[in-house]
Structure 1
Amino acid sequence: MKKIKIALADDHNLFRKGMASVLSQVPDFELVLEASNGQELIDKLTRRMPDVVLLDLEMPVMDGIATTEYIRENHPDVKIIMLTMHDEDRFVLHLLEKGVSGYVLKDADLDEVEKAVHKVMDDGVYLNDFVSKVMHRKMVNKTTVIKQSSTTTLYNSKVLLSEREKEVLKLICEGLSTAEISEKIFLSPRTVEGHRLRILEKTGTKNTAGMVAYAFKNNLV
């Protein structure tokens, strides 16, 4: 069984050691490196490249956002799951736009962490209930503002998606996998993936997480 290689960066030693111990309980996970801040993580990436990075948002020397920007620029295939105590709406879309594939609160249990890692590996993004509710609130608020202002010009008016692409995008934003979308709308997985790639191209986003953030921010769903 091929193991998913994981890196963990958090400046709180007790939390990091505890998380490392928890991760070691998952049979198909392999913790390949630990770091106490973003700079230390980046320095260690030259020794062993992970599949997924579990990254603390607030760290000294180099925080989670700066580290995300570096990884996205230099190692775009590495998936990033942000670990944080912050459950504020303002962080979520910003982090997804930066290229974070998932957002998990630090008080989550092992099952959610395990699910998040598998989901970002399989589908490129993990949208838990908290993130989905944040996005829904953003969408409702944005729609209200648009209705109240006749002078508002939507950037998404420049993005012309077909009805099928809109349908696929909506299901991706609901957290469905390619296989689940395929079964739901009676298309082959290859065709669904083709739609996903065209949506990425049309929205100018680099990964599924960024595409989801773009969709909600620009009222595409």
Structure 2
Amino acid sequence: MINVVLADDHVLVRDGIKALLEDQTGIMVIDEASNGKEALEVVSRNKPHVLIIDIRMPEMNGIEAVAEINKHHKDVRTLMLSMHDSEEYVVKSIQAGADGYLLKGASKEEFLKAVNKVASGGKYFTGDVSSIIMNNFVSGNTASFQGPKPVIKELSVKLTKREKQVLGLVLELKNNKDIADELKISKRTAEVHRFNLMKKLEAKNLQELTTKANDYQLV
């Protein structure tokens, strides 16, 4: 059973999403929130598998809420919901630690696909923007956004040329088989390179790996 919390300031939107989700076997909406602050309280109280949260809400917006949840409740998966497919919103959502980004105009099939993908530990970014936005983000090409430039840190260990190649492909969300095929190496070798990267960069997941890659300007 996938336990879900809904956070949106419009009751009709929450009711519609709740009806859609609970019509499916294996998904249950266990609580709701009408703003970002309420979302933090509800998540802390219920520890859901997935939080589906709107970006634009009163008191605390969805991006700020997701950033806080990612700090204190790392086991909770977060799916951002928005009317907007702008690069700014998507990148800021990724920076906050969101596991997915879905448009409110998405079909029922895509909505359910996104929820299940995020709940199972994957990432889901809607439509054609996913590859473009992820590529911009992992390459540090965020100059169009306001805020200070990231501090470039010095890595105490060195990555080999092959490890850098693997890192670039990992950050493009390619699996071990795809990496092996592209670099003409065995799947096992790709797995070893991925493991070594996570160990050298002291990263526990893709989000941390992406952050470290940006901090050290590795891609």
Q: TM-score, normalised by structure 1?
A: 0.73
CA distance in 2, matches of 1:102, 1:17: 21
Q: Compute the displacement of 1:73 (Å).
A: 1.8
- 2:106 aligns to what? 108
Q: Go from structure 1 to structure 2 and tell me whether the alpha carbon gap of 1:23 and 1:133 turns closer, same or farther (over 3 Å shift).
A: same
Contact 2:201–2:212 (Cα < 8 Å) also in 1: no
What is the aligned length? 206
CA distance in 2, matches of 1:137, 1:109: 26
- 1:130 aligns to what? 129
CA distance in 1, matches of 2:136, 2:44: 40
Contact 2:166–2:190 (Cα < 8 Å) also in 1: no
Q: Go from structure 1 to structure 2 and tell me whether the alpha carbon gap of 1:195 and 1:113 turns closer, same or farther (over 3 Å shift).
A: farther
Amino acid at match of 1:131: S
More helix by share: 1
| Aligned-residue RMSD, C-alpha | 3.5
Deviation per residue, 1:153-173 (Å, 9 max, x gap): x93774843345434433333
Contact 1:4–1:30 (Cα < 8 Å) also in 2: yes
**Structure 1 segment 55-134 matched on structure 2, within 5 A:** 55-128=53-126, 129-134=128-133
Q: SS in structure 1 opposite 2:51?
A: strand
Q: Compute the displacement of 1:22 (Å).
A: 1.1
Q: SS in structure 2 opposite 1:187?
A: helix
- Structure number with greater CO (CA < 8 Å, separation at least 6) is 1
Q: SS in structure 2 opposite 1:155?
A: coil
CA distance in 2, matches of 1:189, 1:48: 38
Unaligned runs of 5+ in 2: 142-150
Contact 1:125–1:208 (Cα < 8 Å) also in 2: no
- 2:144 aligns to what? none
Unaligned runs of 5+ in 1: 143-153
Q: Compute the displacement of 1:108 (Å).
A: 1.3
Q: Go from structure 1 to structure 2 and tell me whether the alpha carbon gap of 1:196 and 1:102 turns closer, same or farther (over 3 Å shift).
A: farther
Amino acid at match of 1:194: F
Counterpart among 11, 14, 18 of residue 13 in structure 1 = 11
Q: Go from structure 1 to structure 2 and tell me whether the alpha carbon gap of 1:181 and 1:22 turns closer, same or farther (over 3 Å shift).
A: farther
**Structure 1 segment 149-188 matched on structure 2, within 5 A:** 155=152, 158=155, 160-177=158-175, 185-187=186-188
Q: Go from structure 1 to structure 2 and tell me whether the alpha carbon gap of 1:190 and 1:119 turns closer, same or farther (over 3 Å shift).
A: farther
Amino acid at match of 1:29: I
Contact 2:152–2:215 (Cα < 8 Å) also in 1: no
Identity %: 34
